[in-house]
Chains A and B, each alone.
Chain A
C-alpha cells in the first residue's frame, strides 16, 4: 500500500484562514467600518495638517484604527474558539490534529489572519491618503514594523484565547458575549488616546501594545502615552510635549504580555477540559 506523505500543515490550517477572511461580520467591522474612518481621517480630519507632519498624521491614524480593526477580528476569534471548543476536544484526540499540532496550526493561522487584516487596513488607508495627499507613506523602520506586527498579532491571539476559554473554564456561558466584546471595549479606550493621555495605563491594556509598536515602526520616533492630537499640535508649534514610551520598555511589555497570556491560556484550557457540554448548557 502506498504510504501517504505526511504534510506539514493540515486543511484545518487553510480553512481556518479562509473562514476568518470570508466571515462577513469580521469583514464589515474590521475593514468596512474602519475604511469609513480612514476616509474621514484622510478627507476631513487631516485638512489642517501641514505637509511636514503628513507622515506622522498617517502613522497616528493607522496605529489607532489598527487597534479597533484587530479588536474586531479578536471578537470573531473569541466567538469561533468558543463554538469550536468541543470539536477541538474531539479532534485533538481522534484525528491527526493532535494537541501540539492543533496549538501550532491554530496559532499560526490566526496570527496570519490578524496580519492580513492589518495589512488590508494599511492598504485601504494608504489609498485614501494617496488620493488626498498624492503620496504613499511607508514605515521608516521596516524591520521593526515586521517584528511589531508579529508581536502585536501574537498578543491579540493569546488575549482572544484567554477570553474564549474563561466562560468554559468557569462554566458560565452567559458571560461569553461580554467576554467577546472586551477587545472592542479596550480598543475604544486605546482610541481615546487621540485626546486623552493614558499615562502608565498604556502598559496594562494589551491592545495598546499594537498602537505603540506600529507608531514607533512607522515614524521611527518614541510614541506618546496619549493625547496624540494635542502632542502633534504642540510639536507643530514647537511647544513642550507629553510623556513618551522608550522602545526597550515597549518591546519588553509586549514580551511580558505574551508570556503572561500564554500561561493563563494554558491554565484555562486545562481547566476547560473537565467541563462537560451539559454543564455549559445548564449553567
Chain B
C-alpha cells in the first residue's frame, strides 16, 4: 500500500503538488489532463523530485528512511533507466538483478509485444523508438516483484493491439498498480470491478471512486457537492453525475478537452 499525507512538492519555489493526501491499494487509474502534476507526483514518490512537506509511506516505510529496500517500488519513468551504458537487454538483466525481478517474465512480455531479444542486445535504450522504449520500461516494471508499481502514461505511443495486451498484463499483475493517463477511452477497456479512479487537476487529487460507478456517468460544468465526483480548482469546476444530463463521459476521449469544453 502507498500512503501519502499532505504532500507538497515542486521545483525551485514553484509548488506543483498542492497538499495531497491519499491511500493507494489494489489498482488505481490516475486520470488527469497534461500538466496536472501526475508525473511530478510519481517522481516525488520515487524520490527524484523535491518534497516541500508531507510524508510518503510505501508499504508502511517512510520514503525518507528507505535505503536499499528491495521489493518496495518500481516505476516506468525514463529517468531511472540510465544507470549503465550497455545495450538494452543487458540493462534489463542488470536491473532485474538489482531489483530481484524475473528476466523470463521480461522476455515473455517484450517478445509478446514484438521486441526481439536480438534487437535489444544490439541497441541502447536511447536508440529504440519511443514506442519500443515504452514497452521496455513497462516490461521491466512488470517483471519486478515490487509491492507498488507506478506506470506513467504506459499506453502512450502504443498501437491499439498493444494497448489491449498491456491492459491484460496490468490486470494480471499482483502488485499495487497506479496508472497515470489523460486518455479516458481506457475506462471502457478495463475490468471495472478491479479498478479505482482518482482524478488529478492542477496539482490536486479528487476521488477516489470505483470505476464501476464512473461508467455511463455524465459530465456537467457546475459544482455539485452531492455528485459522484465534484471538482473545483481556481480555473475549472465540474461534476460527474449519474443522471443523464450534460455530456457522456465516454464521449470525451482525453481529459485535455475538459478545459476546452468548460
Q: Which bracket fits the contact residues of A?
A: 35 or more
**Contacts A12-B94, A93-B66; A277 near B85 (Cβ below 8 A):** no
Interface residues as binary, B75-94 with A (CB distance below 8 Å gives 1, 0 otherwise): 10001111111100011011
**Contacts A83-B82, A277-B43; A94 near B49 (Cβ below 8 A):** no
The verdict on B190 contacting chain A, using a C-beta distance below 8 Å, is no
Question: Is B83 touching A11 in the complex (CB atoms < 8 A)?
Answer: no
Bound: A277/B42 CA distance, A: 12
Q: Which bracket fits the contact residues of B?
A: 35 or more
Q: List 8 A-B contacts (CB under 8 A).
A: A10-B94, A12-B94, A87-B83, A90-B75, A94-B66, A94-B70, A278-B40, A279-B12
Q: Choose among A16, A87, A282 the residue that contacts B12 (Cβ–Cβ < 8 A).
A: A282
Question: Is A86 touching B80 in the complex (CB atoms < 8 A)?
Answer: yes
Residues of A83-98 whose CB lies within 8 A of B: 83-84, 86-98
Question: Is B43 touching A97 in the complex (CB atoms < 8 A)?
Answer: no
The verdict on A123 contacting chain B, using a C-beta distance below 8 Å, is no
User: Which residues from chain B contact A282 at a C-beta distance below 8 Å?
Assistant: 11-12
Question: Is B68 touching A96 in the complex (CB atoms < 8 A)?
Answer: yes
A interface, by DSSP: helix, strand, loop or mixed? helix
Residues of A69-106 whose CB lies within 8 A of B: 80, 83-84, 86-99, 101
Residues of A19-67 whose CB lies within 8 A of B: 19-20, 22-23
User: Which residues from chain A contact B240 at a C-beta distance below 8 Å?
Assistant: none
A-B complex: 8 closest residue pairs judged by Cβ atoms: A98-B68, A278-B11, A19-B85, A95-B98, A87-B83, A11-B97, A11-B94, A276-B49
User: Which residues from chain B contact A91 at a C-beta distance below 8 Å?
Assistant: 80, 83, 98
Bound: A22/B86 CA distance, A: 8
Question: Is B70 touching A95 in the complex (CB atoms < 8 A)?
Answer: yes
User: Which residues from chain A contact B41 at a C-beta distance below 8 Å?
Assistant: none
The verdict on B72 contacting chain A, using a C-beta distance below 8 Å, is yes
Question: Is B94 touching A278 in the complex (CB atoms < 8 A)?
Answer: no
Q: Choose among B11, B68, B97, B100 the residue that contacts A93 (Cβ–Cβ < 8 A).
A: B68
Minimum distance in angstroms from A232 CB to a CB of chain B? 40
Minimum distance in angstroms from B172 CB to a CB of chain A? 22
Q: Choose among B40, B79, B93, B97 the residue that contacts A87 (Cβ–Cβ < 8 A).
A: B79
Minimum distance in angstroms from A6 CB to a CB of chain B? 11
Question: Is A278 touching B49 in the complex (CB atoms < 8 A)?
Answer: yes
Question: Is A94 touching B94 in the complex (CB atoms < 8 A)?
Answer: no
Minimum distance in angstroms from B117 CB to a CB of chain A? 17
Bound: A15/B68 CA distance, A: 19
**Contacts A19-B84, A278-B11; A94 near B79 (Cβ below 8 A):** no
User: Which residues from chain A contact B84 at a C-beta distance below 8 Å?
Assistant: 12, 15-16, 19, 84
The verdict on B74 contacting chain A, using a C-beta distance below 8 Å, is yes
The verdict on B29 contacting chain A, using a C-beta distance below 8 Å, is no
**Contacts A16-B84, A94-B70, A282-B11; A89 near B48 (Cβ below 8 A):** yes
The verdict on A18 contacting chain B, using a C-beta distance below 8 Å, is yes
Question: Is A93 touching B67 in the complex (CB atoms < 8 A)?
Answer: yes
User: Which residues from chain B contact A87 at a C-beta distance below 8 Å?
Assistant: 79-83
Residue of B nearest to A86 (CB): B79
The verdict on B69 contacting chain A, using a C-beta distance below 8 Å, is yes
User: Which residues from chain A contact B122 at a C-beta distance below 8 Å?
Assistant: none
**Contacts A10-B97, A11-B93; A86 near B82 (Cβ below 8 A):** yes
Minimum distance in angstroms from A100 CB to a CB of chain B? 8
Question: Is A92 touching B11 in the complex (CB atoms < 8 A)?
Answer: no
